[in-house]
């Protein structure tokens, strides 16, 4: 299990309203090598916080940075990269980062997930 103590918050700037409304382009998050296996990157775009996770197998996932139990920040908690689970630091709810599904109480509702892909070495997330 990986303890998330230094989650880097990266505001995403320069996103036009047209792009956000059309959802035609993905957000550039970082270079793939800047997100090592077992790491998390927290980004803010259009008033949303999104956690981008890179698992031990190299797979990338993105979910909203919100526990469905009390809107607590998931990216500030532990992250089990082998199991693909974010653990809410407030009350310990486990959220599957692949599906957004709440796995344990007190969370019972899923959180949003976002498609992640790598283009020319850049990690990109579509938020629409």
pTM of the model: 0.80
For residue 1, is it within any domain? no
The CATH number that applies at residue 27 is 2.102.10.10
Ordered strands of the 27-31 beta sheet: 27-31, 122-125, 116-119
73-115 residue pLDDT tens: 999 999 998 999 999 999 999 999 999 999 999 999 999 999 9
Q: Is residue 3 part of a domain?
A: no
Answer yes or no: is 2 within a domain: no
Give domain status of residue 17, yes or no: yes
Residue 113 within any structural domain of the chain: yes
Residue 108's domain comprises 8-125
* Percent over 90 (pLDDT), the chain: 70
Residue 52 banded pLDDT, cuts 50, 70, 90: very high
Mean pLDDT of 27-56: 94
Give the number of other Cβ atoms within 10 Å of residue 117's Cβ. 11
Indicate the number of domains in the chain.
1
Task: Check if the beta carbon of residue 72 is closer than 8 Å to that of residue 58.
Answer: no
Q: Is residue 95 part of a domain?
A: yes
pLDDT at residue 14 greater than cutoff 50:
no
User: Is residue 102 in some structural domain?
Assistant: yes
Question: In this model, does residue 30 exceed pLDDT 50?
Answer: yes
48 assigned to some structural domain: yes
Q: What is the pLDDT of residue 25?
A: 66
């Amino acid at each position: 299990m990986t303890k998330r103590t230094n989650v880097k918050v990266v505001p995403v700037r320069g996103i036009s309203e047209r792009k956000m409304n059309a959802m035609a382009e993905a957000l550039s998050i970082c270079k793939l090598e800047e997100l090592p296996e077992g790491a998390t990157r927290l980004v803010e775009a259009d008033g949303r916080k999104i956690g981008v996770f890179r698992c031990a197998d190299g797979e990338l996932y993105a979910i909203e940075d919100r526990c469905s139990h009390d809107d607590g920040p998931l990216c500030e908690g532990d992250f089990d990269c082998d199991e693909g689970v974010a653990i809410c630091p407030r009350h310990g709810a486990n959220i599957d980062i692949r599906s957004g599904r709440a796995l344990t109480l007190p969370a019972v509702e899923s959180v949003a997930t976002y498609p992640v892909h790598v283009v020319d070495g850049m990690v990109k997330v579509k938020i629409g």
